[in-house]
Amino acid sequence: MGAVSENGSGRGSGLTEQHSSFWRRHRLILWVAGALGTLFAVLAVLVAVALHHAEPFVRARIVAGLQERFHARVELDSFHMSLVHGLRAEGKGLRIWAPQSALAEDATAAANAEPLIRLSEFRFHAPLHYQAGKPFYIRTVQLDGLDVRLPPRSRFAHSEAADAEAAKESSEKSPDVFSLSVGSVECTGAHLTLETDKPGKLPIQIAISQLKLSGFRMAGSNGQTDEGGPVMDYDAELTNPKPTGAIHTTGTLGPWRVHDPGQSSVAGNYVFTNADLGSFKELAGTMSSTGHYDGTLRDLTVDGKADVPDFQLRPFDNPQPLHTEFHAQVDGTNGDTWLQPVIATLGHSHFSAVGKIVRVAGPEKNGGPLVSKGHEIALAVDVDHGRIEDFLRLASHTNPAILTGDVKTKATLDILPGQEHVMKRIQLKGSFNLDNATFTSAKIQDKIRDLSLRGQGRPNELKTADTETVDSTMSGDFQMAHGVITLPVLKYSVPGAAIQLNGTYDVDGGAIDFTGSAALQAPISKVVGGWKGFLLKPADPFFKKDGAGTEVPIHISGTREAPQFGVDFGRMKKTSPETPGQK
């Protein structure tokens, strides 16, 4: 046993000696490993120190690049970098002012107080790959909290020569040893304000939920013919406040006018979907619109179309399909729009309109700054091929409409801003012609049939005539204010009778109040017919007037649902018999 123990102990001691001998013979491995560990530690410290010292340099290059691009004062509060999975960088508190050389003398102080551009934060990631003489490429820069405020045109000196000189300097500038190239810029939560100096007007505010800028280039490249300056493509999602909905737009911005950004060119297409007209208290329906626009940030030309399959006026619940195609000029500083023209189809009615839709501002009740009071709409409307029932249905609780027929009209339409219902604020003035008019109420149409047959001296056919065969025509001048339509002259005719009325119609309540006269072709004896007509033969001269066989003073009262027709016997007492040959 003792030999075994000693033998085993000897083997263990031999292994230990061999292990120690290996490391004695290979001390270089230990030294290299230690050196590498120390080197990595030193490199980590050096990288951290290098990044710490590189941050001011890169920050300075970013600020200098923006200053050269905008020819303006630029400030950046902080900038940090790291080398985790490539180069990562972020900056906070970026501000860019208007170029001093671009400002009018009296606007310098005001412009200096407010930057043109404010940015809460930006960040980017790029691979660690750099070639001397070539820009350091950044695939995407991400922005948060972008706020752009463009002062009114009067704040700038409008030097086109300065823009051209700035573009020339940029194009002729020698490339830097270190420069940046950006593939795209993506922004969340941007806001654009286009200020105005027009009295009584508010600036336009545009909320941009998502924005992507790409394709950065100088004008004149890619076959462009515009004057020099930066050009970029954009893809944006806008939130429209009224009517509430989302707008998706793509297009091109630029050349960027350094010495007056509001004059920068813009062109693109838009898609406006699921716009809720219910955000206007007087309207209801869902609108979709598509179109193209071009011009400058301050002045745009827009061509597009819009569809509302369920357009309706409140409180009336009779939706109608509405389709429009329009050409418009838009003042980007305040949203005022000039329609030149709008071509529309409401139901089966075709009409056009030209005019303006402008925002109205005023002080609050207790004074203070200007606030929006709504929009003023002023249009000249031409209905060249319409159906009266399409328009009546919009402003009526009943369906079908009380009257059908072909209508033509020319009118001016003014809708003033205010808290009252739109029907109380509409002002209309014009004239109309209505052909093939038919009342949908059987009771009213029966009275029209009776009037026509008696006017023709055919009272004996009252029980056999077909109601639907009697069409009528109507024409006149009208005006509307405070929800009441006034018709100073309304001419209504059916075969055998011509009626002339004047009076009012309450659009909301439906109250009717008209007076006038009915001129019938037949003498009174034939109008009445039968034995009563025979007895009235001597009275024929008393009812003849101005070539009519019978003229009777009449009135129409009641409501649109239950009209009442009557003869004004009091006015008949003032008539005298017409002598033979008298008209």
pLDDT for 305 equals 95
Three-class HEC string of 96-110: ECCCHHHECHHHHHH
Contacts of 50 (CB under 8 A, 6+ apart): none
351 pLDDT band, cuts 50/70/90, is very high
Q: What is the largest CA-CA distance in the chain?
A: 169
Mean pLDDT, residues 7-30 taken together: 52
Cα–Cα distance measured from residue 219 to residue 234, given in angstroms and rounded to the nearest whole number:
15
Q: Name the nearest CA neighbour of 214 among 193, 229, 236, 239.
A: 236
User: pLDDT tens digits for 418-431?
Assistant: 777 777 888 889 99
Tokens of 43: 């490199």
List the beta bridge partners of residue 379: 355, 413
> Comparing 176 with 569, which gets the higher pLDDT?
569
Q: Which two tokens stand for residue 562?
A: 């239950």
pLDDT band at 577 (very low <50, low <70, confident <90, very high): low
134, pLDDT greater than 80: no
**Tokens coding 175:** 């490339």
Mean pLDDT value of segment 506-518: 84
Res 303: pLDDT: 95
Q: Which long-range contacts (CB under 8 A, 24 or more apart) does 504-511 make?
A: 505/560, 507/395, 507/423, 507/480, 507/483, 508/421, 508/423, 508/483, 509/559, 510/559, 510/560, 510/561, 511/558, 511/559
- The alpha carbons of the chain give a radius of gyration, in whole angstroms, of 41
Q: Is the pLDDT of residue 385 over 60?
A: yes
CA distance 100 to 156: 9
- Kindly tell me if the per-residue pLDDT of 246 is higher than 80: yes
Percent share of the chain, pLDDT over 70: 74
Question: Among 233-237, 265-269, 366-370, 568-572, which is the least confidently predicted range?
Answer: 568-572
* The pLDDT of residue 175 is above 70: no
- Average the pLDDT over 52-68 and give the result: 72
The closest alpha carbon to 415, from 322, 481, 323, belongs to: 481
Whole-structure pTM value = 0.73
* Structure-derived torsion over alpha carbons of residues 308, 314, 316, 318, reported in degrees to the nearest 10: 10
Query: How far apart (Å, rounded) are the C-alpha atoms in residues 230 and 428?
Result: 49
First to last CA, the chain: 161
Angstrom distance (rounded) from CA 211 to CA 208: 7
Structure-block tokens of residue 344:
């529309």
CA-wise closest residue to 382 among 423, 339, 424, 416: 339
Antiparallel, parallel or unpaired: β 180-194 and 136-150: parallel
For the chain, how many residues are written?
583
For residues 70 and 163, what is the distance between their CA atoms, to the nearest angstrom? Answer: 10
pLDDT at 21 over 60: no
CA angle 290–295–299, rounded 5-degree value: 100
pLDDT in tens, 435-482: 988 887 777 778 888 888 888 888 888 777 665 567 789 999 989 888
Q: In this model, does residue 224 exceed pLDDT 50?
A: no
| Residue with the two structure tokens 């999975």 | 85
For the chain, give the percent of residues with pLDDT over 90.
17
SS3 93: strand
Q: What is the pLDDT of residue 433?
A: 93
**Whole-number mean pLDDT of the chain?**
77
Position 342 confidence tier, pLDDT thresholds 50, 70, 90: very high
pLDDT of amino acid 551: 82
With bands split at pLDDT 50, 70 and 90, how would you rate the model's confidence at 42?
very low
Mean pLDDT confidence for 325-345: 88
516-530 tens-digit pLDDT: 888 888 888 887 888
Residue 271 three-state SS: strand
- 412: burial class by Cβ within 10 Å (0-12, 13-18, 19+)? middle
Following DSSP, what letter does each residue of 49-74 receive, concatenated? HHHHHHHHHHHHHHHHHHHHHHTS-E
What is the mean predicted confidence (pLDDT) over 76-95?
Answer: 83
pLDDT of the residue at 13: 54
The angle, 0 to 180 degrees and rounded to 10, between the axes of the packed helices 27-70 and 2-25 is 40
487 and 430 Cβ atoms separated by less than 8 Å: no
On the question of pLDDT at 139 being above 70, the answer is yes
Separation of alpha carbons 526 and 548, rounded Å: 13
- The pLDDT score that the predictor gives to residue 383 is 94
Across the range 268-277, mean pLDDT stands at 91
Long-range contacts of 171-177 (CB under 8 A, 24+ apart): 171/218, 171/228, 173/68, 175/133, 176/61, 177/132
**548 DSSP 8-state letter:** B
Asked if the model's pLDDT at residue 151 lies above 60, the reply is yes
Tell me: the pLDDT tens digits for 470-494?
A: 778 999 998 988 888 898 988 988 8
